[in-house]
Amino acid sequence: MRFKAPLLTAILITNLLGAPNALASQKPLIENFEFTPSQVELTSGERKVSFKLAVSHPFGIDNESVIVSLVRSSGDTLSTIATRSDIPVNKESKLATFAGDFLIPQNIRNGVYNFTISEIRNNSSAGYQFKEDTLPAKKVHNIIGAEYGVLIRNNGYLNINYQTFNGPAYDETKSPKFTDFRKYTSLLQPIWKAGEKINIGDYFEMNIPTLPLELNTQTPAICSVTGLTLNLLKEGGCAFKVFTSQTKDYESFEVLQNYQIGSARIKPTLIVNQISNQTSVGLPKFIDLPIIYSSASGFVSPKSTTPTVCFPVGNSVKLVSGGQCTITYQSDSTTNYLSSDLYSISFEVIRESQTIEFSLPGSIGISTKTIELLAKASSGGVITYQTTSTGICSITGSTLNLLKGGNCAITATQAGSATLAPISATATVMIAGSVAPIKKTITCVKGNKTKKVSGTNPKCPKGYKVKR
């Protein structure tokens, strides 16, 4: 069961003086409620709980005393009288304070004892009196299910009887209790068949997040447990328990489950025929695909792993470019069947061939510095050029730059298109001669003196520095 915040209460007694004004219709308000200690250990000998209560009303408080009770969820009750501590008593005072003590007997049952306060009445000068209406208690503890009362422990144990989790989500009779209803009721139902694994923890919502959910089995030959995973081993009755263990604060809480485990799901076999290679003539175009059926799920939809070359449209495949087209088939899993293996059909969409003409002179003097590259493809497409002879030559667009003597290899490429295959050709030219060294001149300074020095690697005389 769940513990709720205690209610500090009042009943409309009577209208004493006629129609109330706005202030008179206000109910007594609990301003402060404290008790010390907030926890009692029965074995420690400390069994006295003192409390203070402050209540306000614009017209004052009528009571000279109130009855305060400690009530356990099972009905166990301790009561005492709290007397007015503002002496002399002034019933017109807007704030009244009460104080009292509880003597906790040694033989009381441990648990959470919530306070109730009865018969707090406002002064009759208000026009009428209230008592036992809903007045909020003060939160004292952060223990869920024990926020508002005195905690009476025995050897440290509180024994809160609390529903520590909700579920399971696969049981429709328990689903409405979920706080996050949509999350848990949208989960797929477990498949209770041999060979399956079920993460039981996914189907339960924790009300006490600090407590670990646990799982054990009473039928280990039928279903075993690994952590929160239930392993369904073979056909038969699987009995298992989902629970949280007893702690210093909470009693253990459990849900017993029993499911009949059916025969293992079957993996279906698909029959998939291959498709012959196709030409790129007339792209884009459609060709028919084989119709594939599964005993598990009926028609199996094709999928493409090469969408830039081809993709399925219904029972056909649309070819959009040359290259390898790969179509896959896999049936979905159901409650009686596993998903099938992944089957694939691959075929080539063959692009049209083209030729390329590319030649270079056998040798060329380095003094020429540059030459224009003039390769030509039968398709008339754009040609690109590359060289691996870095340091000897370089390429800018379709211009070959001669850098130094040696063999310069050039590759001309036409990249092709959706319907044309790419093509390349390589030619080599011998670069003869050497590049004349380049002279340069620097200006050197020493105080007010300057000197100009020329050469391939000019340096300033001793004592001079290069003018920047």
Task: Give the start-to-end residue ranges of the domains of the chain.
Answer: 7-153, 165-261, 278-350, 356-432, 437-468
User: How many Å separate Cα 445 from the centre of its chain?
Assistant: 70
Q: What residues contact 441, with CB distance under 8 A and at least 6 apart? A: 452, 453, 454, 458
Distance CA 350, CA 419 (A): 8
Measured from the Cβ of residue 19, the count of other Cβ atoms closer than 10 Å reads 9
What length is written for the chain?
Answer: 468
Q: Domain 356-432 carries which CATH code?
A: 2.60.40.60
Whether the pLDDT of residue 14 is over 70: the answer is no
Residue 2 host element (H or E):
none
Q: Do 242 and 257 contact (CB within 8 A), yes or no? A: yes
**Mean pLDDT, the chain, integer:** 89
Residues 6+ apart with CB under 8 A from 96: 54, 55, 56, 60, 61, 63, 84, 86
Count CA atoms closer than 13 A to 232's CA, side-chain side. 23
Q: Which stretches does DSSP call E strand in 292-390?
A: 293-294, 298-299, 303-304, 310-313, 316-319, 323-329, 343-350, 356-357, 363-365, 370-372, 376-377, 384-387
Phi-psi region of 35 (alpha: psi -120 to 50; beta: other; left: phi over 0): beta
In the predicted model, what is the mean pLDDT of residues 10-14?
A: 40
Phi first, then psi: give them for residue 176, nearest 5 degrees: -60, -15
Q: What is the pLDDT of residues 199-249, one digit of tens each?
A: 999 999 999 999 999 999 999 999 999 999 999 999 999 999 999 999 999
What pLDDT sits at residue 176?
75
CB atoms within 10 A of CB 403: 17
Q: What is the arithmetic mean of pLDDT over 121-141?
A: 70
Residues 234-266 as b/e (b if ≥16 CB within 10 A, e otherwise) read eeeebebebbbeebebbbebebebebebbeebe
Structure token pair of residue 34:
């404290």
Evaluate if residue 23 carries a pLDDT over 70.
no
Share of the chain above pLDDT 70, in %: 92
pLDDT in tens, 269-288: 999 999 999 999 999 999 99
Q: Give the pLDDT score at 128.
A: 67
Report pLDDT for 18. 43
Instruction: State how far the Cα of 227 lies from the Cα of 200, in Å rounded to an integer.
Output: 9
The reply to whether CATH 3.30.930 applies to domain 7-153 is: no
Place of tokens 């049209």: 352
Q: Provide the pLDDT for residue 148.
A: 86
On the question of pLDDT at 385 being above 90, the answer is yes
Residue 34 near residue 139 (C-beta atoms within 8 A): no
Q: Which CATH number fits domain 165-261: 1.10.10.10, 2.60.40.1080, 3.40.50.720, 3.40.640.10?
A: 2.60.40.1080
Assigned fold of 278-350: Immunoglobulin-like (2.60.40)
